[in-house]
Amino acid sequence: MEIAGSVALVTGANRGLGREFVEQLRERGAKKVYAAARDTSTITTPGVVPVALDVLDPESVERAARQAGDVTLLVNNAGIATGQNLIRGDLAQVRREMETHFFGTLTVTRAFADVLGGNGGGAIVNVLSVLSWFSWDGATSYSAAKAAQWSLTAGTRVELAGQGTQVLGVHFGSAATDMTSDYDGPKLTPSEVIGAALDGLADGAVEVLVDEWSRTTKAGLAQDPAEFYAAAVRPIQRRTAG
């Protein structure tokens, strides 16, 4: 994917990682950046095209796809974290996380697939998580939603390969955004996450493991689950308990 000269659309572009995507894409020479959010008044980055887009509203998504018919790079960044567990959490919030991360990403991808194909193929970046690969008590709902989004990323990569669309999944442990304000462990800066993601995109990668946490966890999928959870989850629980 050639970022310089590209036309990008970033969901959830009003804060955190989304705003950092917008800024770095412009720094790297993107010709146009559509900054999408439910409320366009929250888009404060200069030099972008605000787009009203709610990933849970299919009509909103379709309108955005019609407005941004020149897009060559789609960044599925919009996400939420409700802090729910699957068994005893608020089921409405569990559904909301799955609707946002899986069905929201799918809805936006479906709406823009033909746009990308008509513009030469382009690329899609999906912001995933180290929690795609393990469950953490206190956020098992988020883990399930991110695991589904990871599988969606692989599925859409297979389906869109024929039209030349690069589909990139980005995994990392924790970044310093509003979403992680209650987490007191180590955090990457948004700049580190997005820099690694865009480097991988430019290199033609299909997966970026931003930090050691994501690399170790991905490698741990081949382990016995009991050993994996003893090594990967308990240290996190000790940090958050302390």
Q: pLDDT tens, 21-67? A: 999 999 999 999 999 999 999 999 999 999 999 999 999 999 999 99
Q: pLDDT tens, 153-170? A: 999 999 999 999 999 999
Q: Confidence class of residue 240 from pLDDT cuts 50, 70 and 90?
A: very low
Q: pLDDT tens, 63-103? A: 999 999 999 999 999 999 999 999 999 999 999 999 999 99
What pLDDT score does 195 carry? 97
Mean pLDDT rounded to a whole number for the chain = 92
CA dihedral 176, 129, 45, 191 (to 10 degrees): 60
Token digits of residue 25: 């894409």
Domain annotation covers residue 2: no
CA distance 186 to 40: 32
Domain annotation covers residue 1: no
Q: Are 37 and 21 spatial neighbours (Cβ–Cβ below 8 Å)?
A: no
Domain annotation covers residue 116: yes
Domain annotation covers residue 41: yes
Query: Is residue 207's pLDDT more than 90?
Result: yes
Q: Are 148 and 220 spatial neighbours (Cβ–Cβ below 8 Å)?
A: no
Task: Using the Cα atoms of residue 140, residue 146, residue 152 and residue 157 in order, give the sign of their dihedral.
Answer: negative
Query: Is residue 242's pLDDT more than 80?
Result: no
Domain annotation covers residue 174: yes
For 169, the domain range is: 7-241
Strand segments, DSSP code E, in the chain are: 7-10, 32-37, 49-52, 73-76, 123-127, 166-171, 207-209
Q: Given strand 32-37, what is the order of strands in its sheet?
A: 49-52, 32-37, 7-10, 73-76, 123-127, 166-171, 207-209
CA distance 24 to 228: 35
Q: How many helices (H) does the chain have, and how many strands (E)?
A: 9, 7
Question: What's the pTM value of the predicted model, to 2 decimals?
Answer: 0.91
Count the domains in the chain: 1
Domain annotation covers residue 114: yes
What CATH number is associated with residue 220?
Answer: 3.40.50.720
Largest CA distance in the chain: 53
